[in-house]
Amino acid sequence: MESRVKRKRPAAGDHALFREVLADVVPLPDHGRVQHALPRRKPIPVQHILDERAALADSLSNHITWDIGLETGEHLVYLRNGLSPQTLKKLRRGHWVTQDELDLHGYTAAEAKVLLIEFLNACLRRGHRCVRIVHGKGLGSKNREPVLKTKVANWLIQREEVLAFCQARPADGGGGALVALLKAVARRP
């Protein structure tokens, strides 16, 4: 076991001895230059950054809701409350022109989630109303099941700007893609 060494307080004679040693010391002459204070670094809003990351992670959870309408077989459809069923019918028939597309083939669920968020945000900025999201049929995945199909549908439901979606027409991807209708965003002049 180590022994602790107690420090002694300097004796009154030590101060006198110290002053005697420094008696011949002369201060440096004034160089005439201004000493500027170093610029303070901007504070890093660590909590704000952590909150933003948490909000992004939580904005699209993986929890599957019961709002996803499963019609015949594997067809995913969704219509936001308060909208006319005609909206969904028009979306199915291709009434709106598809203005952009996101292909999620080969991405993990985590990567697909981030790409979907960025894609929807970009579409809203550009004023796009109708978009296609290709999630794949799952033919290359384990058990040949579509991994992203229900996840993408659930993520879309959680976004306030998604009004409706349905399975794409066979020519547009069929069971491996969704066509989504987004809210019209008022553009600033």
Provide the 3-class DSSP secondary structure of residue 10: coil
| Local confidence band at 66 (pLDDT 50, 70, 90 cut-offs) | very low
Sign of the torsion angle spanned by Cα atoms 96, 101, 106, 109 = negative
Q: What is the DSSP letter of 57?
A: H
Percent of the residues in the chain that have a pLDDT greater than 90, as a whole number: 25
Give the span between the Cα atoms of 12 and 14, in whole angstroms: 5
Q: Encoding tokens for residue 124?
A: 């809203």
**Which domains are present in the chain?**
46-182 (3.30.1370.110)
- The yes-or-no verdict on residue 122 having pLDDT over 80 is yes
- What is the average pLDDT across 102-128? 91
State pLDDT tens for residues 22-52: 889 888 888 888 888 888 888 888 888 887 7
Q: What stretch of H or E contains 130?
A: strand 130-134
Bridge partners of 69, per DSSP, are: 77
Give the span between the Cα atoms of 128 and 119, in whole angstroms: 11
| Local confidence band at 120 (pLDDT 50, 70, 90 cut-offs) | very high
Predicted pLDDT at 101: 94
- Whole-model pTM? 0.60
Across 10-19, 67-76, 86-95, 141-150, the highest mean pLDDT is recorded for: 86-95
Percent of the residues in the chain that have a pLDDT greater than 70, as a whole number: 77
- What is the average pLDDT across 3-26? 77
β-pairing, 69-70 vs 162-167, is unpaired
- The yes-or-no verdict on residue 71 having pLDDT over 80 is no
